[in-house]
Structure 1
Amino acid sequence: MNPSRRTVLIAGAAAGLFPLPAVAAARPRAGATPPYASYWYPDSLPAGSPGPGITWRSLKSWRAAEDPDLAFNAATVPLADRFTPTPANPTARSGQARIQALVSFGPTSGNPSQGSATADYYALTHWAYLDELVFWGGSAGEGLILAPNAPIVDAAHRHGVPVLGNIFLPPVAYGGQLRWTRDLVQQDASGHYPLAAQLVAVAAAHGFDGWFVNAETGGGNTALGRAMLGFVKELKALAAANGQRVTWYDAMTVNGTLGWQGALDSQNQAFFQAADDMFVDFRWSAATLAASGTKAGQLGRSRYELCAGVDVESDGSGTPVDWDAIVPSGTPHVTSIGFYRPEWTRNHLPADRRAPEDFHAADDRFWTGRSLDPSRPDPTDPWRAPAVSVADRSTVTSLPFATVFNTGHGLRWYEDGAVTSDAPWNHLGLQDRLPARRWVVRTAGERPAVSFDFADAWRGGSSVLVDGELDQPVVVDLYATRLPIGVNSVVELTYRTDAGAVNVEAAVATAEPSGPGTPPPYTYLAVNPDNNRTPVNPVNGWQTVTVPLTGLTGPLTGPRTLRGPRTGTGTGTVHALGVRLTATEGPVRWRLGALAVRNTVTGPAAPTGARVTGATGGDLRLAWNAAPGAVRHYELHRLLPDGTRRFLAGTCQCACFLTGLQPEQGEKTARFELRAVGELYTTSAPVTVTHPW
C-alpha cells in the first residue's frame, strides 16, 4: 500500500493529493457483469495487464453510445436551487467562505454504480454546508480519470451541491508517467484539445457538473505548461457552455514543473484565471492566504474562489488548524475551505464500531461541532466546525415536500413500518432531503438525545429518534423551507412512541426568525389523533396524522398555539418546520418516521417496457422506459411463491443490476415487480418482469 499523503510530507518527499491505491474491488462471482463508476486513462494504457477487478480504458476512445454501463451511471436528479435561511447562530455567515470537499467513496475501480449490500459506507448527509463535492480517486494502476457514480450525484443534486469528477496525474513516485500528461493535453490539427471535449461530453452524459484537475507528474517544461494552460482554458470554455465547472489544484506551475505554492501567485495565477476556482495546497500560512485573497481581488475575482486546503484524512475533527487564517470570527473570512478526505468520520472507526449510528455520531461532530447543536456552538471547541462559520442552505421550496428521513444506508429496508428486506444496504440516490441543523433542540429542561436511528423505520432504513426525560417541553427544529401554502395545504406526520407518553405538536413558522441564532416564530399545531384531526389506523405502532394548515397564512411575529378549528382563505409561505414534544409520562423514546407538506395526493404513472437485458445465473441486468411525469425513484421487489414481496433494490435510473438470486424451492420462474415512487412516496401500479431459472 502506498504511504499516506501525511507520511510522505513528514518524510520530506513531494507534497500533493494522493487518492487510494489500486486494490481489487469486491466483485460478484465470476461471470457476472456488475456496473461500476467509469474510470479511464487519457489515451495510452500502461504496459502489462490490469490487476484483478480492474479494466483499463482510454478516454479518447470512449463513446456514450458504446458504453454498456452508462444507463446505470447516468444521474437523473437535476441540480436543485438553494436559498440561505437566517443563520442558526450569529457566527455563521452567508456570502463568504464556501466549502469544497474531496471525498474518496472507494477505490477508483471499486465504486458500485448503484450501491451495495453493506451499511458500512460514507453516507454523507451534511450537504447544507457544502458548495462543491469532488469525487476523489484515480491511480496509476487503475485509471487517472474518475467519473462520479450516480447515487452520489443524485443525492448531492437533491441538496443543491454540484459534483466534480477527478483528473489525477500522479507524481512519479506513485507511478505517474509524463506521457499521460501529454496525452491529456494533446492537440489536433486545428489546435483544439480533443480530450477537453471528451471530458465535457462525459460529464454531460453522466449528469455531473465538471472536473477537478490535479496535475502532479514531475519532469515537465515550459512547453508542457503552455499546453496545460491551453487545455484548461478550452476545458473551461466548453464546460461553461454546458453548465459545468472546472477547479484547478495548486501543483503544476506555468513553467510545467511542480511547485506547490500554498498561495495564489505568479506561478499559478494563469491557471486560476483559466478555472472557476482553485484548491490551495496545504502549505499555506496566514500571510500567504491574506495575500492570496488580496491578489484575487486585484484580478477581478472573488477571494472565496480560493479554497485553503485542510487535510483531515488522518485526524478528522482532531486536526489542528489555524482557523483564524481562513475563517476569523471577528473579521470577514479570508478564503474558502477545501476539506481533503472528510470521510475520516467513517474510516477512523474500528471495524466493530462502524454501525451507522457510530458513523453519524462522528460525522455530526465533524460538521456541527462538539456541542452537536448548530444554534449553540461551543466556543471552547478547538475544531471550528463548518456550522460555526458557514450558514446552511436548503432546497425545500416547493410542494409536495416529503421525507422519510432516509440517510441512504441501513441495516434493513422498511415499508409502512414492516421489514421487507433484512439485508444491510447503501444507496445514496435514495437519500432524502435531510434536516440541515442537526440537531437544534430548544428546551428549558434537560436536553434529550436526538439522532438518526436504524433500529426501526417507517420507510427506507432510518427514522429520527428523540430519547430522554423531557422534563420540559422540547422543540426540535427540522427544516428551513420556502413552501407556498394555500387553503388545501396540510402537514402530515408519521410517528411512534416506544416508551413513555408524549403530546405531539407540529411546529410551523410562516416568517423568518428575528435574527441569526433566534428561534423561528412557530405556531404549534396539535397532531395527536384527536381534536378534529384525521388519523390513519396505526400500523406496527406507527400512526399518521394529517393537520390542515388553514389559518397559517401571513407572517407571525411570535410563537402561538392553535388547537381548535381554524379558518382562512389566503396564501402564505412556510419558513420552518419542526416538532414540539411535551411528556405526560417519562422517560420518552419517540421516533418520527415521515413528514410531508402537500396539497393533494396523486400517484405516479407506471414505467413501461421492463425487461431483462442480461443474465448470468442469478445475476441479472434489467432496464425499462421511464414513467411519464414526476418520479422520485424506482423500486424492485421479488414476488415469492407464497405471495410475499421482498425488496431487492431501489434506483433513480431506468436500469438495475441484481446479483446472487436463487430459485425458491420448486420455483421455475422468478417474478419481479417494478414500481415508480413519487415525491410523496406513493407508488405506481406494479409492472411484472419474469425470468426463467
Structure 2
Amino acid sequence: MTCVACGPGLIHHFSTVHHPPYAPVWYPASILRWSPGDDPDREFNQSRVPLAPRELNTYRPMNQQSRVEKARVAACVAFAATPNNLSQGVLDHAFYACGYWQYIDILVFWGGAAGEGLILAPNPHVTDAAHRHGVRVFGNVFFPEAGSGGRSCCVDAFLTRRADGSFPVADKLIEAARFYGFDGWFINQETDRSGDDQRHGEFRDFLAYASERKPDGFMWYELSGSLAEDNVRILQDGKTRVSDSIFLDYAWMSERRGDKRHTLRDSAATAEKAGRSGRDLYAGLETVQGRGDPEVAVKHVSLALFRPDHETMKASGNGRDLEKFHEGEATFWVGGRRDPSDVPQGTRWGLARYIVERTPVLRDPFVTHFNTGHGTAYYAQGKRVRTGGWANLSLQDVMPLYRWVVDPERAALKPRFDYEDAFEGGTSLLLLMPHEAARPSLLPLFQAQMRVTPQTEFSVVAKPDEEEWECLEIAVALKQAPQEFLRIRLEPQERINGWVRLRGTPDSTVSGTAVQLGLWVRPPVPAPIRLGQLSVLTAELAAPPAPTDLKIQQSIPLSLNRRALRLRWKPAAAGAPSSSPLRHYEVYRGEDRSVLLGATLNTCFYVESLERDRLEKETPLVVCAVGPTGHRSGVAKTVVEW
C-alpha cells in the first residue's frame, strides 16, 4: 500500500479556492509538485516586510546583569493548529500577539503532524511583524515519533536524491522560503532512530547541500542534547557550513557520555574547535513543563524556547483576557515585577536578566501607534471603524523595548497598553499618574541609533481627559551622554477626532545620534492620558498614492444574503508621486469608509463574510492605501451585486 503522505502526495488547501487562504502545508511528495504559479493563495501568503537591520544597544541595557553580546534566543511558537493558520489574521482578539521581539533572534513557526502535514510555512502576518523587529522566521519540518504516526517512508522521501546527488526537496524548501518571504527552516527528525549514524549522515548531506544554496537558513534539532566529535559534522564539516544553528534537546540537562558528564561547556568547546561559535548552539528550555535553567545555559551557548506562548495563552483564558495576557507575557520575558531592569536572581524566567535587547529603531522616519496587532475594536485616525475582536500582526508596530522602566524608582507613573480607545489600530498607551504625585517621571520607550538635528520633528498624538499639555515632553538621550535625557517641549498643532497632535523640535545646539527615546511626564497630571502615536521625522509624510483596479476575483455564496469574497487590486502605477511609503491597505464597506472589513500589506484580501444590508441591490467596497502616520489615500472602488 502506498503511503498517502509519501506516495501520490497531498498539498493542503490547494485543491480548491472555496475557502479562506491558509499558510501552506505539505508532505515530502506534495512539496515536489508545488510551484508558485499553481498556488491560488500565493499572493495571500507572501510577506511584504523585509528583514529589518537592528542593533545591540549597550548604552543602557534594560538589565545590568544581562550578558552583553553573548547569548541569542530562538523561540518555537505555535499560533494555531497546523492546518488552521489563516494568512491574513483572524476576526478574534484571542491570538498570541507576540510583543517582546527584542529578546528573540529566530522565530520557528511551530507545527506539523502526521495526519495534517509535515512541512509548514509561516503565515505572512507573523513574518511581517517579526521582520519589522529584525527577527528571522523559520518554517517547520516535523517528523513525529513512530508512536505519533511518524513513518520512515516520509523521511526517505524527504531525503531522496537525484542522480547528480542533489536533493529535490531541499530545492523546493529554498524556493518556498524565497517566494513567500521568510528566512529558513527548522528540521526536527524524531521518526526514524533505527540507524542514527546513517540518518545523521543523510541529513548532514541534505543540510550541506541546502546551506550551499541558501546560507544561514537551516536549524537542526539534535536529539542527543549535546555536540561532540561523533555528531559535530551536522553543524560544520571541515570547511563546509552544514547548519546555521542547532537546537539541543533538553537532554543537555542530564546527559552523560560514557563515564564523563558532557556539559554545555563541552558542546560549546566542540563547536569552537570546528570553527564555529558556541552561540550557534541553542540549549532547549521546555517552557510548558518548566525544564531547563537559562542562567546555566547563557554562560556557554544560546537559548531555545519551546512554546513560550503556552503559559501566556493558558493563563489568559486562551488569550481572551487581554489584561492577563499582557501580565503573562511580562512575567515570562521581564519577570514577576513587570520591570526588565529589576529581575531578581533565581527567577525562573524573566529573560531580560540574561539577554540584552536589540532595537530596529535605526533611522527616521520612525512612527509607532503602540498597536499590538490585536484588539477588541479598530480605529482609523481616532474614529472607530470596526467593533469586534481582530488580530493581524502585519499591523503591529515596533513595540516599546523598555516595558516598563520608569525613573526614578517607585515613581508614581503607571504605563500600560489600553484597548478601550486608540488612534490607529486597536491599542493606545495609557499613562496613569495620581494627582498627589510630587516628582516628574521619565519613561524610556525605545533604544535607537537615529540621527537628530535641530530640523528633526518629534510628534505625539494624545488624548487627555482634560486639556492640559504642560505635563508631557519628549525625552531624548544622545550618544555623547547616553544617560542624560534632553527635554523637548511639545505644543498642540491640530485636533483629529478628539485627539490632539503635539509637535516639538530640539534647540539649535542639539545634534548627534539618539540612543534612547521616551517621555517626560511631570505632575500634576490632571487625568489619564492616552498616547496614540509617537513619531520622529525630518520631512512631513503625506498619504501614499491610491491603489487602482479593485476587482472581485471570486464571490462565494454562504447563504441567501451572505457571501465570502476574494478581492484583488493593483498598487499605484510605478512612478506615481509620493512622499510617503505604504504602511498597509484597508478594505472598507461603503464609500464613507465607516465599516472596516480588514487590512493587509498584500494587494489581495479575503472577506470572510459580507452580509447584505436589508434589501440593497449593491454593496460598494473600497480600498485605500495607508501611510506610516495614518494618512490615507484616495480609493479604488467596486460593487457587490446581490
| Local SS of the residue matching 1:348 | helix
- Is 1:652 matched up with 2:617? no
| CA displacement at 1:239 relative to structure 2 | 1.5
| CA displacement at 1:654 relative to structure 2 | 1.3
Cα distance in structure 1, aligned partners of 2:409 and 2:545: 48
- Is 1:325 matched up with 2:283? no
Cα distance in structure 1, aligned partners of 2:570 and 2:184: 27
Q: Which residue matches 2:588?
A: 637
Aligned pairs for 1:172-571 within 5 A: 172-221=146-195, 222-240=197-215, 244-251=216-223, 261-273=224-236, 274-285=242-253, 287-314=262-289, 319=290, 321-327=292-298, 333-349=299-315, 351=317, 354-379=320-345, 381-443=346-408, 446-469=411-434, 470-498=437-465, 503-511=471-479, 520-527=483-490, 533-537=491-495, 539-540=497-498, 542-551=499-508, 553-554=510-511
Q: Which amino acid aligns with 1:655?
A: C
Aligned pairs for 1:17-28 within 5 A: none
Q: Which amino acid aligns with 1:37?
A: A
| Local SS of the residue matching 2:85 | coil
Contact 1:131 1:161 (8 Å CA) reproduced: yes
Contact 2:463 2:500 (8 Å CA) reproduced: yes
Give 1 or 2: higher strand fraction: 2
**Equivalent residue for 1:126, pick from 69, 80, 100:** 100
Q: Deviations over 1:199-250 (max 9, x none)?
A: 000000100000001111125435444322211111111222xxx5110001
Contact 1:247 1:275 (8 Å CA) reproduced: yes
Q: Which residue matches 1:584?
A: 524
Contact 1:512 1:575 (8 Å CA) reproduced: no
| CA displacement at 1:665 relative to structure 2 | 2.3
Cα distance in structure 2, aligned partners of 1:250 and 1:309: 10
**Equivalent residue for 2:139, pick from 165, 170, 188:** 165
Q: Which amino acid aligns with 2:547?
A: P
Q: Deviations over 1:116-136 (max 9, x none)?
A: 110001000101111100000
Cα distance in structure 1, aligned partners of 2:213 and 2:525: 63
Runs of 4+ residues deviating >4 angstroms: 499-502
Moved more, 681-690 or 117-126: 681-690
Cα distance in structure 2, aligned partners of 1:552 and 1:690: 56
| Local SS of the residue matching 2:329 | helix
Moved more, 493-502 or 76-85: 493-502
- Is 1:675 matched up with 2:616? no
Contact 1:400 1:680 (8 Å CA) reproduced: no
Change beyond 3 A, Cα 1:573–1:461: same
Change beyond 3 A, Cα 1:166–1:512: farther
| CA displacement at 1:543 relative to structure 2 | 1.2
**Equivalent residue for 2:53, pick from 70, 81, 91:** 81
Q: Which residue matches 2:612?
A: 663
**Equivalent residue for 1:605, pick from 533, 545, 549:** 545
Q: Which amino acid aligns with 1:348?
A: K
Q: Which residue matches 1:16?
A: none
Change beyond 3 A, Cα 1:218–1:81: same
Moved more, 228-237 or 479-488: 479-488
Cα distance in structure 1, aligned partners of 2:612 and 2:320: 33
Name the % identity: 32
Contact 1:500 1:589 (8 Å CA) reproduced: no
Cα distance in structure 2, aligned partners of 1:552 and 1:373: 34
Q: Which amino acid aligns with 2:479?
A: A
Q: Which residue matches 2:567?
A: 622
| Local SS of the residue matching 2:285 | strand
Supply the RMSD in Å over aligned alpha carbons: 2.2
| Local SS of the residue matching 1:234 | helix
Q: Which residue matches 2:5?
A: none
Contact 1:512 1:521 (8 Å CA) reproduced: no
Q: Which amino acid aligns with 2:520?
A: R
- Is 1:108 matched up with 2:82? yes
Change beyond 3 A, Cα 1:652–1:598: same
Contact 2:56 2:69 (8 Å CA) reproduced: no
Q: Deviations over 1:467-506 (max 9, x none)?
A: 2324421111111112223443210001122379671111
Cα distance in structure 2, aligned partners of 1:444 and 1:188: 64
Contact 1:605 1:685 (8 Å CA) reproduced: yes
| Local SS of the residue matching 1:424 | strand
Cα distance in structure 2, aligned partners of 1:137 and 1:59: 16
Query: 5+ unaligned residues in a row in structure 1: which ranges?
Result: 1-24, 44-57, 252-260, 328-332, 515-519, 528-532, 555-571
Cα distance in structure 1, aligned partners of 2:175 and 2:529: 49
Q: Which amino acid aligns with 2:584?
A: H
In the superposition, the TM-score normalised over structure 1's length comes to: 0.83
**Equivalent residue for 2:33, pick from 41, 61, 73:** 61
Change beyond 3 A, Cα 1:447–1:309: farther
Contact 2:155 2:192 (8 Å CA) reproduced: no
| CA displacement at 1:384 relative to structure 2 | 4.2
Cα distance in structure 2, aligned partners of 1:492 and 1:226: 57
Contact 2:474 2:487 (8 Å CA) reproduced: yes
Change beyond 3 A, Cα 1:61–1:32: closer
Q: Which amino acid aligns with 2:616?
A: E
Q: Which amino acid aligns with 2:628?
A: E
Q: Deviations over 1:70-104 (max 9, x none)?
A: 10001010000001112123212332100000011
Q: Which amino acid aligns with 1:427?
A: N
| CA displacement at 1:538 relative to structure 2 | 5.6
Cα distance in structure 2, aligned partners of 1:223 and 1:283: 21
- How many residue pairs are counted as aligned between the two chains? 599
Query: 5+ unaligned residues in a row in structure 2: which ranges?
Result: 1-11, 237-241, 255-261, 558-562
**Equivalent residue for 1:42, pick from 23, 28, 44:** 28
Q: Which amino acid aligns with 2:497?
A: V
| CA displacement at 1:444 relative to structure 2 | 5.5
Cα distance in structure 2, aligned partners of 1:346 and 1:552: 46
Change beyond 3 A, Cα 1:300–1:233: same
Cα distance in structure 1, aligned partners of 2:210 and 2:496: 56
Change beyond 3 A, Cα 1:637–1:245: same
Q: Which amino acid aligns with 2:89?
A: G
